């Protein structure tokens, strides 16, 4: 399970507890922590309007109910490929 920071883009996982929010995406706008500092939950401002909800307030989700948005996952994969490419080129360039 990934720890998120304010501003991270997330997707609500397809779990029974999240109901109609499943599959929705948004940004982390707040983090709740236990007294010892462990993440207890995230407040997420979902994209689009939600009937009856204030626009500036995030909806609370447990850490297990969220995952990185697909674009974030692709960014991590691309960053990993760049590192691998640099290591390969460095190895090739330093061969006698």
Contact 22, 8 (CB under 8 A): no
Task: Name the band, by pLDDT with cuts 50, 70 and 90, for residue 17.
Answer: confident
Q: What tokens does 85 get?
A: 């490419």
Is the pTM of the predicted complex or chain greater than 0.85?
A: no
pLDDT higher at 92 or 63: 63
pLDDT higher at 89 or 74: 89
**Pairwise CA distance, residues 94 & 21, whole Å:** 52
Please give the mean pLDDT across all residues of the chain. 81
Q: What is the 3-state secondary structure (H, E, C) of the chain?
A: CCCCCCCCEEEECCCHHHHHHCCCEEEEEEEEECCCCCEEEEEEEECCCCCCCCCCCCEEECHHHEEECHHHHHHHHHHHHHHHHHHHHHHHHCCC
Per mean pLDDT, which range of 13-17, 63-67, 73-77, 84-88 is the poorest?
Answer: 73-77
Q: What tokens does 41 get?
A: 């939950």
pLDDT on residue 49: 66
pLDDT digit string, tens, across residues 46-81: 988 666 555 556 889 999 999 998 765 565 666 666
Where along the chain do its domains lie? 9-69
């Amino acid at each position: 399970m990934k720890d998120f920071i304010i501003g991270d883009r997330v997707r609500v996982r397809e779990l029974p507890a999240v109901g109609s929010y499943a599959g929705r995406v948004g940004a982390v706008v707040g983090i709740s922590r236990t007294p010892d500092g462990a993440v207890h939950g995230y407040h997420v401002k979902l994209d689009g309007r939600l009937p009856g909800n204030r626009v500036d307030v995030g909806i609370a989700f447990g850490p297990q109910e969220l995952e990185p948005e697909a674009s974030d996952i692709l960014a991590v994969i691309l960053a990993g490929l760049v590192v691998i490419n640099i290591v390969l080129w460095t190895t090739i360039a330093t061969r006698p």
